[in-house]
Structure 1
Amino acid sequence: MARESYAAVLLTQGEHRFYQLAMPSDVLGACTFVSTRDDNPEDGFQRLLNQQRAKEISSYIDTGHGTIPTSVILSAQETCNLEYDSRNKTVSFDIAPRSFLILDGQHRVYGFRMAETRVRVPVIIYAGLSRRDESRLFIDINSKQRGVPSELLLDIKKQAEYENTEEQLFREVFDSLNNDPSSPLFGLLSPAKRAKGKISRVTFNAALKSIYPAISARDPQEIHEILSEYLASVRDQILRNGGDSEIIVNSVTFRALVSFFIHAARRVKDRFGPDYTVENFDLVLSPLFDSIRISNLTGTSQSKILEYLEKHFRGEFQL
């Protein structure tokens, strides 16, 4: 059986001691395993592998520019015969398929294994853990660490030059609505985080995605102007019928109202041509808002709100 040795640093945190080292990705892949609830219901605690996620990691590494500095966390099993040489500051162990249980980083490990490129991977190795200790560490690691909010990731994608065409369009429309004092959404948008009483970039993008085929040929300024006219009309209709304009910042309601924009814009175009003004939106929306309960524009289902609007919009048509 092959045996490897690597320079390592011994660290202590609380009641646990662990080793910090860099391990070649092919060695890491050859001596690690996961324990899942599905194949080991008695002791398993990890989730099943998402093959697509691992594949994305391998592709990222194989680009030649990929870097994943986060440590993979392992628990040494008895079969690996882990030893620490305090004089030379090295750890040595036997290479076997079940030498180390992965506590955190299974998708990274499998992504490294699938990649053609070999890299050195930061690794943390705990030794002498019981299954209870391993389970508790797994819980602690996955409950204490938090991912970066989606809103922040979207906000900085431009700087990273990671935006696709759709995301770029949505960002430019969002930013212009956010910065324009005459916009009905001025002061009601939150670019980089979720905020109570405001529409996040994630909610905004999800809303515009539902109407993207209809707006993709327009430039950001045109979309800004048309949406502003539509949303201003909706806000005015809500107020005129005794509602609170704050309803528009409810994430579910906002997505439903933006999805309904297609129906309203089509009616405006049929009657007035492509003249998307507040006045024209008012003329086609007034009968609708006069026939509905504003309270029904809130709830937990975007599809139900949209269905409610569509039903009454069709019902108000007269020759």
Structure 2
Amino acid sequence: MAKAKRATAKRVIKRNTATFLEFPCHTFLQGDKTLVFFSADPKVMWQVLSINRKVEDKNEGYQRALSQSRVGAISRFIDSGNYLPQSLLISLDNSEVVEKEGQKVIKIPNSPDSGWVIDGQHRFAGAKNAKKNILLPFIAFIGLDLIDQIQLFISINKEAKGVPSSLYLDLLRVLPNQYKSVAEISKERASDIGTELKKDEDSPFYARIVVTTAPKQGEISLTNFVRKVTPLIQPGKGILNAFTQVEQRAIINNYFIGIRNVFNKEYKRTDSIFFQTLGFGGLLNALPSFFSYTLKEYSGFTAADITKVFKKIDYFDFSTWHSKGTGNSAEIEAGNDLVMELTSVTEKENIQIGSIRV
């Protein structure tokens, strides 16, 4: 494999000053279009392909601007020895496929703007900038007009589906930690906590966290659980980051046991706000303040400890949260309401609770 790569690189370098770049290729039909498949050095192809397909007035194009952070991340991914097997979709102008020495060869004019990247621009730029040399697979239309290019771009980006969040969280478990970011490791831990809680028959979360189906009334998705728990446990940042995973799970579980003990009427509702996106988000936003206060007041965070704290505000009307709306700002408002209520009844104790920071 290494010899083949070196041979290809030498051949391309020799032709860099030639009229055409030539690459062995295969052709195939899709509908009435002939597509060409070949591999090439992205550093060489960068000289003849453009990222943004300009329209006639040269002021507009159909591609999105490159995200330099994404480009950098891909470059680092490649330099770490990882693979990038996905093909780039391009359109070539004034190129042709010819027979040469018994095989098909695509001839591309060795000049700027000989073609356009329809899909895969970030992978292209990241591979070009990487220190490590790799070959990229290209699939090319030849002579595709601008309207067809734009239609393809819109279709690909409109219809493309991201990996389902629940599947993504499951797949994270398979990867060794060396391939994960700190944020991904935190998400994996949060996912593990949620998975354990939904199996615990004594937990308020028992059978309430769903993974593969849309949550019904009284349920929350694992994705939503992970979204709110991850910031609490993230190393160096989250208020629970210094605790073990078992302790983190117990803290979150005890928090909701306290809620269940004191606000049982709302807890038992079929459409309990505690297990809706807004209610769960508001409660998790408030958890750091309740955790700090309970720990200081009772030197612990058992279910009994947090129950005592919630009893101080047992008149709090959670039913008002049902009309707060949705979104991050509504979650912040709900959480701050709860923290302010606790603050109001503990001011005489000279304990500073503080507001939620996001």
TM-score, scaled relative to structure 2: 0.79
Q: Give 1:258 deviation, angstroms.
A: 1.5
Unpaired runs of 5+ residues, structure 2, are 1-16, 349-358
Report SS of the residue matched to 1:211: helix
The answer to whether the 8 A contact 1:24-1:121 is kept is: yes
The answer to whether the 8 A contact 2:75-2:127 is kept is: yes
Task: Select the structure with the greater relative contact order (CA < 8 A; seq sep ≥ 6).
Answer: 1
The answer to whether the 8 A contact 1:179-1:186 is kept is: yes
Q: Cα distance 1:20–1:302, how it changes in 2: closer, same or farther (>3 A)?
A: same
The answer to whether the 8 A contact 2:194-2:222 is kept is: yes
Identity percentage of aligned residues: 21
Report SS of the residue matched to 2:239: helix
Report SS of the residue matched to 1:183: coil
Supply the AA of the counterpart residue of 2:230. K
Report SS of the residue matched to 1:124: strand
Partner of 1:56: 73
The answer to whether the 8 A contact 1:268-1:276 is kept is: no
The answer to whether the 8 A contact 2:260-2:267 is kept is: no
Deviations 1:38-79 (A, max 9, x none): 99776511100001111111111112x2111111000112xx
The answer to whether the 8 A contact 2:266-2:273 is kept is: no
For 1:38 and 1:310, the matched residues in 2 are separated by 55
For 2:97 and 2:48, the matched residues in 1 are separated by 18
| 1:23 partnered with 2:43 | no
For 1:118 and 1:318, the matched residues in 2 are separated by 63
Supply the AA of the counterpart residue of 1:303. I
Q: Give 1:34 deviation, angstroms.
A: 1.9
Q: Give 1:190 deviation, angstroms.
A: 2.9
The answer to whether the 8 A contact 2:220-2:276 is kept is: yes
Q: Cα distance 1:241–1:185, how it changes in 2: closer, same or farther (>3 A)?
A: closer
The answer to whether the 8 A contact 2:251-2:301 is kept is: no
Report SS of the residue matched to 1:291: coil
Deviations 1:255-276 (A, max 9, x none): 2212212222333334332142
For 2:294 and 2:32, the matched residues in 1 are separated by 69
Partner of 1:84: 97
Partner of 1:259: 285
The answer to whether the 8 A contact 1:238-1:244 is kept is: no
Runs (4 or more) in structure 1 with deviation over 4 Å come to 36-43
Partner of 1:249: 275
For 1:268 and 1:296, the matched residues in 2 are separated by 24
Q: Give 1:139 deviation, angstroms.
A: 0.8
Report SS of the residue matched to 1:30: coil
Q: Give 1:207 deviation, angstroms.
A: 1.4
| 1:175 partnered with 2:195 | yes
Partner of 1:214: 239
RMSD: 2.6
> How many residues are aligned here?
313
Q: Cα distance 1:232–1:89, how it changes in 2: closer, same or farther (>3 A)?
A: same
| 1:122 partnered with 2:158 | no
Q: Cα distance 1:66–1:46, how it changes in 2: closer, same or farther (>3 A)?
A: same
Supply the AA of the counterpart residue of 1:258. L
For 1:275 and 1:52, the matched residues in 2 are separated by 40
| 1:69 partnered with 2:85 | yes
TM-score, scaled relative to structure 1: 0.87
| 1:224 partnered with 2:263 | no
